[in-house]
Structure 1
Amino acid sequence: MIAHSVDDPFYYLHNFRQVLLWVEHRYEDLLDKHELAFIRTFSQLQAPAQALLVRMVMRKGELFRSDRLDYVEIGDTALALQPLQALGWVREPEELDLAQLFALLRKDELARCFATQLVRPRAAKHELMAQLQPLALAARSLAEWFPGCEVRILQWCLQPLCDRMRLLFFGNLYQDWSDFVLADLGLLRYEQVPFSTDSRALHYRAEVDLAMALHQCAERLEQGDDPRSILAVMEGLHSDNAWLARRHARLQFALGQQCERRGDWDLAMAVYAQCNHAQARIRQVRVLERSEQWPEAHAMALQMAAAPANALEVQALERMLPRLARKLGGPPQRRQRVAPLELIELQLPAEHAALGVEEAVRQHLALEGGQVHYVENTLFNSLFGLLCWEAVFAPVPGAFFNPFQAGPQDLHDGDFRQRRAALFERCLGRLDDGSHRQAILDCYVAKQGLQSPFVFWPMLSEQLLEQALACLPPAQLKHCFQRLLQDIRSNRAGMPDLIQFWPEQGRYRMVEVKGPGDRLQDNQLRWLAFCREHGLPVAVCHVRWSDTP
């Protein structure tokens, strides 16, 4: 797509036109007659009317004051509105409720509007609303609310249609028109992946409808609606589309959590039982435990332990099974002993706490020698992303479908690696023949600043990269990268906070930092166990603050 300079006053209009052309070209078979008519009618409007429409699309909400729609590049707003109103795309609402009126009018206007009903007209705006709510005022027209009001209220009527255009273009509804602006400014730059004819996020009209319905359900959950009413809507929302299935599972899991918070154990169990989320099975055991159904919880935990689905389940069951056995009156069970980690006990001056515990430890360790960096999850992910760039951004059918993707759509699918098996084998093979160093450095230069789901450019300096490649054994890197590929969503986080290099000696040490009262999280424990298993040098540093210098 062509980037437009933000110096062009109509840059936003050019971007919107491109989206419509893109959607019409790639998704014409998924558009209904109203959507096709909108695209074609829009193209025939004069530029001022087009621009005013796009301004409303890009703004929040669907109701606007006429005096807030003045734009220099558009000129006469009233003239630009005429064709939009004639088409029925913009209208003056027949009635407004009290909340809508308060969102649109200024405080002084509200004080005049309700002069005879307000006891304290000079109070804050939210207090004015509190004074009027007990009156249970019915919705009515603006003229009835406020005779002689100087402004007009305009309603943009096609936001759902334009949201569908955005969904088809981006393949989601969390990206919006600001992505164009950030790209035009050069603040976000994307890898240019070639698109094939089947490079589409959604393939059937029913999938578009389902995506919109899931989005509306998620909004209702955020607004605090009753989970039962949302679940009733979701009962018929199923699809084989991988993106929609993931979205459905995340939303279903969130609904299960909301049921748990409400103590609705039966409904939580029913929701989790139908959910494909990675944590849904373990939450079922937890719900049974929290509702004191010990035998059922123990039986389910034993069944899961026989065939755990992932490392998260293994870890959770190691805690749950002994606890549940005790609840059933069984003998105490010893937890499996593991080899101890290297521990560092530090007592640092209390004034160093202002630095943050990680930075305070980093500075202390640097005094002992070596080069110490705060990296947490950024370094190993970045090295993986640079080495495997060609595999991650391979033009696999359906993985890329718009120019604003930081990564492939199927990144968290179970077959992500398999669909690119030969490419990943070639990339990881460079760790065996020693060519990985140059490949990583070349990619660091060639792809500098491009969006990636793995590479953290602000944290990745040339110095850090050189030290890492000098000190990190390729065999250990390969173990880390293979673990990452086993479960990208879970394993890309939890890595130690600091890394200490001794370039002259070609060695390193990772350090997980814990301040007073802090404890190791589950994903951190899993990474530490992995490091112990594969011989990666790692230590856990416990910090206490001292008032004495």
Structure 2
Amino acid sequence: MNSASAAPATASLDDPFYYLANFRFVVAWVQARHGDLLSADEHHALEQWSQLPRASQALLVRMVMRKGELFRLDKLSYPEIGDTHQALAPLLALGWVSDAPLLTIEELFRLLRLSELRDALRASIRSAGLASNATKTALQTALTPVLTDALPLRQWWPEASTRIVRLNVMALCDRLRLMFFGNVRQDWAEFVLTELGLQRFEQVPLTAESRAFQRREEVDTYLTLHRLRERLENGESPEQLAAEVPAAFGNRWLDARRSRLLLTLGRTAERSGNVEQALSLYAEANNSEARIRRLRVLERIGRYSEAYELAQVALEQAGEGEAQALSRLLPRLARKLALPSPQAVKAAEAPTYVLELAGPQPVERAVAEHLSTATAPVFYVENGLITGLFGLLLWPVMFKPLPGAFFHPFHSGPADLYREDFVVQRQAEIDACLAQLDDGRYRETIRATWHAKQGITSPFVHWGLLNEPLLTAALDCLPAEHLRACFIRLLSDLKHNRAGLPDLIQLIPDAPDGELRYRMIEVKGPGDRLQDNQRRWIDFFCRHDIPVEVCHVRWQPVP
């Protein structure tokens, strides 16, 4: 297995078959690195794939990239492929495509135009007493309950002017996609239709331990969870699907996905009025959002004692966001139970003022232009400056080649970035990076990383925003102890704390000795208010003596 870190060559958009080249890359990558997770039948299918004519391979990839598994043949026309019927023949011979698939009435309505439906269903339309000029919606509403058989197109429409084919290898393609990406969120089009050479990725050494999956059972479990979610989205009841959710697997990553599915099932059950099913699903999911939703349901149905006891337990392990929700819930429950209200810790509030400016216009730009001076410029940075400095200093942390973090060459960041054990797995490297804030080395490290990694995709560094003048001025003006405090807070909850930072920063390099050389400014336009994550950051800044203000904008009356 190749562990070299060199980035692979990818196809140029100048090649009309560039999408096929990128798809072939994925197939070869999975064969080389995940061959032990493929069955004998899957290996055989990929060997057959490699022997297909190029046009047939290309047609298959075009179908895989499109939505669904049913296609009109007259819509599968591509200049670089040429004769579609000729390219299709080997796929039909292998059984990878069917040319007479059974079609439900719903599928027929999705695939045919209105004029074609009127022709194909002429007898049924007359029998139902429908007008000849009835709309597609009216036809479908009337005929769907009546036409319940699934039939080939030729039986629906003997004089059909098109053919419909079904792609039969999506299960294999989904498995390949999952093993390559480590998820099914990214689709084929996102990869094969991208000229990856236009992006630069950090070159992380990839070993056998880097793979997203180590056992075939893990792939199967992931796909089972994914199919259950798809079935829920297609309207199946959460009660039925809940019984099919596999047991906890013992794999932290897969169990987290299982927990999110249970949460989604619980939300659906709650919306449909099945409160007991929702409570059961939330209890089994047992993540922070599920715990809060469970408590709110218990409160709504009057089970206050149970909710109060569970909230007290949740508070002991809650992160910032969950603790904020519990701080609102517990006083209400205490009042219902005639208990002493818990001692609330009032959030610190930043200095707040109102500016009346000419507008309307983007409020951040208006405030920045109003406050900026030659010696104290104001920059619109929002979530890009503090997080950018963080990403530059902790670059070795973000791209440490740990198992399950990087498993193909096109990662913009580690796959486990938002998992609970992200920090624990990298604590030594994190400590080493943060130690540079104590002896001043951080400035040179951040500058050197900015130059060396310029343009390489990163989950925290937005190169278009973090230009060199802003970087230099920020390093000159922001104290190391303030950066350390912010970085530690980011690490406490990377998913939620990376957002909610103030919109603007004013850098004041010529401030008198003893005075702070910057201030952060959260801007709120007319009718806007602080969000919870912004309130948490502001509370944090105030408690750490980090300068922050809230500016509310009113537009000047039109003369």
Partner SS for 1:458: coil
Identity %: 49
- Whether contact under 8 Å (1:242, 1:410) holds in the other structure is no
For 1:340 and 1:278, the matched residues in 2 are separated by 26
Distance apart, 1:157 and its partner CA: 0.7
Residue 395, structure 1, aligned to residue 406, structure 2:
no
| Corresponding residue for residue 308 of structure 1 | 317
Aligned-CA RMSD value: 2.4
For structure 2, list consecutive stretches of 5 or more residues without a partner in the other structure.
1-7
| Corresponding residue for residue 344 of structure 1 | 353
Residue 191, structure 1, aligned to residue 190, structure 2:
no
Distance apart, 1:400 and its partner CA: 0.8
- Alignment size in residue pairs: 544
Per-residue CA deviations over 1:338-372 (Å, capped at 9, x if unaligned) read: 554211123344xx23x233333333333797322
Runs of 4+ in 1 over 6 A off after TM superposition: none
Distance apart, 1:548 and its partner CA: 5.3
For 1:122 and 1:386, the matched residues in 2 are separated by 64
Q: Which amino acid aligns with 1:462?
A: E
| Corresponding residue for residue 39 of structure 2 | 32
For 1:185 and 1:409, the matched residues in 2 are separated by 19
Residue 272, structure 1, aligned to residue 311, structure 2:
no
Residue 385, structure 1, aligned to residue 391, structure 2:
yes
Structure 2 vs 1, CA of residues 218 and 457 (structure 1 numbering), >3 Å: closer, same or farther? farther
Aligned equivalent of 1:511, options 521, 526, 534: 521
- Whether contact under 8 Å (1:243, 1:409) holds in the other structure is no
| Corresponding residue for residue 431 of structure 1 | 437
Distance apart, 1:299 and its partner CA: 2.5
Residue 89, structure 1, aligned to residue 96, structure 2:
yes
More displaced 10-residue stretch of structure 1: 180-189 or 106-115: 180-189
Partner SS for 2:137: helix
Distance apart, 1:392 and its partner CA: 0.6
Distance apart, 1:331 and its partner CA: 5.7
Q: Which amino acid aligns with 2:390?
A: F
| Corresponding residue for residue 118 of structure 2 | 111
Q: TM-score, normalised by structure 1?
A: 0.92
Residue 165, structure 1, aligned to residue 171, structure 2:
no
| Corresponding residue for residue 482 of structure 1 | 488
Partner SS for 1:499: strand
Aligned equivalent of 1:287, options 275, 291, 297: 297
More displaced 10-residue stretch of structure 1: 16-25 or 163-172: 16-25
- Whether contact under 8 Å (2:348, 2:538) holds in the other structure is no
Distance apart, 1:110 and its partner CA: 2.2
Q: Which amino acid aligns with 1:63?
A: L
Residue 320, structure 1, aligned to residue 329, structure 2:
yes
Partner SS for 1:449: coil
Distance apart, 1:322 and its partner CA: 2.0
Equivalent residues in 2 for 1:405-420 (5 A)?
405-420=411-426
Structure 2 vs 1, CA of residues 282 and 132 (structure 1 numbering), >3 Å: closer, same or farther? closer
Structure 2 vs 1, CA of residues 220 and 513 (structure 1 numbering), >3 Å: closer, same or farther? farther
For 1:380 and 1:90, the matched residues in 2 are separated by 52
Aligned equivalent of 1:370, options 361, 367, 376: 376
Partner SS for 1:494: coil
Structure 2 vs 1, CA of residues 223 and 497 (structure 1 numbering), >3 Å: closer, same or farther? farther
- Whether contact under 8 Å (1:179, 1:404) holds in the other structure is no
For 2:362 and 2:478, the matched residues in 1 are separated by 27
| Corresponding residue for residue 4 of structure 2 | none
Equivalent residues in 2 for 1:4-19 (5 A)?
4-19=11-26
- Whether contact under 8 Å (1:121, 1:128) holds in the other structure is no
| Corresponding residue for residue 205 of structure 1 | 216
Equivalent residues in 2 for 1:46-65 (5 A)?
46-65=53-72
Structure 2 vs 1, CA of residues 31 and 289 (structure 1 numbering), >3 Å: closer, same or farther? same
Per-residue CA deviations over 1:109-166 (Å, capped at 9, x if unaligned) read: 2232234526444455434434533543533221121112122211111111111011
Structure 2 vs 1, CA of residues 121 and 467 (structure 1 numbering), >3 Å: closer, same or farther? farther
Q: Which amino acid aligns with 1:335?
A: A
Partner SS for 2:520: strand
For 1:447 and 1:424, the matched residues in 2 are separated by 19
Q: TM-score, normalised by structure 2?
A: 0.91
- Whether contact under 8 Å (2:179, 2:213) holds in the other structure is yes
Q: Which amino acid aligns with 2:185?
A: Y
Equivalent residues in 2 for 1:234-273 (5 A)?
234=245, 236-273=246-283
Distance apart, 1:173 and its partner CA: 0.6
| Corresponding residue for residue 218 of structure 1 | 229
For 1:419 and 1:100, the matched residues in 2 are separated by 49
More displaced 10-residue stretch of structure 1: 292-301 or 119-128: 119-128
For 1:169 and 1:494, the matched residues in 2 are separated by 33
Per-residue CA deviations over 1:233-265 (Å, capped at 9, x if unaligned) read: 11x242222321221122222222233333433
Distance apart, 1:504 and its partner CA: 2.5
| Corresponding residue for residue 3 of structure 2 | none
| Corresponding residue for residue 152 of structure 1 | 163
Structure 2 vs 1, CA of residues 338 and 198 (structure 1 numbering), >3 Å: closer, same or farther? closer
Aligned equivalent of 1:138, options 130, 136, 149: 149
Distance apart, 1:542 and its partner CA: 2.7
More displaced 10-residue stretch of structure 1: 164-173 or 334-343: 334-343
Q: Which amino acid aligns with 1:229?
A: Q
